[in-house]
Amino acid sequence: MRVEDFKYPLPESAIAQEAIEPRHDSRLLDTRDMSDHRFLDLPSLLRPGDLVVVNETRVRAARLAGRRLDTGGSVELLLLEARPDGLWEALARPSRRLRPGIVIEIEAIRARIVDGPDEGMVVVDIEAPDVEGAIANAGNIPLPPYFHGTLDDPDRYQTMFARTIGSAAAPTAGLHFTEEVATRLRQREIEIAPVDLHVGIDTFRPIATENIEEHVMHSEWCSIPESTAAAVDSARARGGRVVAIGTTVVRTLESFADKPGTVTAGERETNLFVTPGLEFRVVDALVTNFHVPGSTLVVLVAAFMGDRWREAYQIALQRRYRFLSFGDAMLAER
């Protein structure tokens, strides 16, 4: 399958450049009948007994602006992941003249290049008494490059479920949730359960191959707690569906799929690339934003919905839905 098959014309005017308040006032397209709703209506579109699964990852203040110790030149690092050996993978800009051994000073942080650059990627050793604390003090939340608006509060790019620091981008389908939405879900006897996937480089990296089969996903750490695995079992037992809030939740649940319909608890790296033809063993319904043309996220949506994804996107554009991270959402079923 060609990457071109997953592209569509996205006008600049359709890209959301502001964050709607309250969050649940964003629009929601129900692709089952192509009807228009507010996100606040989501509980009424689901069934009692369903299980809603969210990603509780928290975005790290991972954008660090510093200067090279040797030349004084400006360098920006976008931290992507802390490796088990204590080193960090990062995107560097500019990266062309960086070499191992070069030190970048960022306030109380010294970041020494250990490896790279490779297509803008470097491996760095971060020296600071309290690394996470120093990053939080010196860094900024890495807003998407296509978002040119401003946020009054950086936490607007965190979901209400955000707990564990580790992502370089937000799981954006969760940005629409408010306490009122959660309350309405519980009132309809719909449970909410968490998973955790640390969003990494593939959120920023386009598919560089002509055919999607040749694209290799970057590994991301994810986990499923025992309570969520049990909640999936309970939902199945009562005839409920598993509703994934966002593509990161789909990848996590399907990465931990056990026998059809269930998952095992645990934590590990996943590089699962969800493409058409994949047998979905856990996820029955998906709530997700409208994504960048030709991205791995559009490929996942196409794998889940089949050819109807293109109709849904076309209708959303015609009806002036807002696209990408701070945009609107859609609900889809298999």
Model pLDDT for residues 213-238, shown as the tens digit of each residue? 999 888 899 999 999 999 999 999 99
Between the CA of residue 294 and those of 146, 230, 307, what are the distances in Å? 15, 36, 14
Say if 3-59+150-333 and 63-138 have the same CATH topology. no
Return the pLDDT at 327. 98
Computed over every residue of the chain, the mean pLDDT equals: 95
Class (C level, CATH) for 3-59+150-333? alpha beta
pLDDT tens digit string along 279-314?
999 999 999 999 999 999 999 999 999 999 999 999
> What pLDDT score does 84 carry?
87
User: pLDDT value at position 192?
Assistant: 98
- The pLDDT confidence band at residue 39, using thresholds 50, 70 and 90, is very high
- Beta bridge partners, 55, equal 195
Residues in Cβ contact with 154 at an 8 Å cutoff, skipping those fewer than 6 apart: 61, 140, 141
Helix (H) or strand (E) holding 167: strand 164-167
pLDDT bucket at 17, cuts 50 / 70 / 90: very high
- What is the pLDDT, as a whole number, of residue 307? 94
pLDDT at 268 over 90: yes
204 pLDDT more than 70: no
Q: Report the candidate in 65, 48, 82, 76 with the shortest Cα–Cα distance to residue 240.
A: 48
Judge whether residue 190 has pLDDT over 80: yes
Q: Return the pLDDT at 203.
A: 66
Name residues whose C-beta falls within 8 Å of residue 277's C-beta, 6 or more positions apart in sequence: 303
For residue 331, give both structure tokens: 């609900």
If you classify domain 63-138 with CATH, what class do you get?
mainly beta
pLDDT band at 3 (very low <50, low <70, confident <90, very high): very high
Domain boundaries, the chain: 3-59+150-333, 63-138
Of the listed ranges 66-70, 117-121, 224-228, 322-326, the least confidently predicted one is 117-121
3-class state of residue 48 by DSSP = coil
Q: For position 205, what pLDDT does the model report?
A: 72
Distance CA 104, CA 329 (A): 40
pTM: 0.94
Written as one letter, the residue type at 281 is R
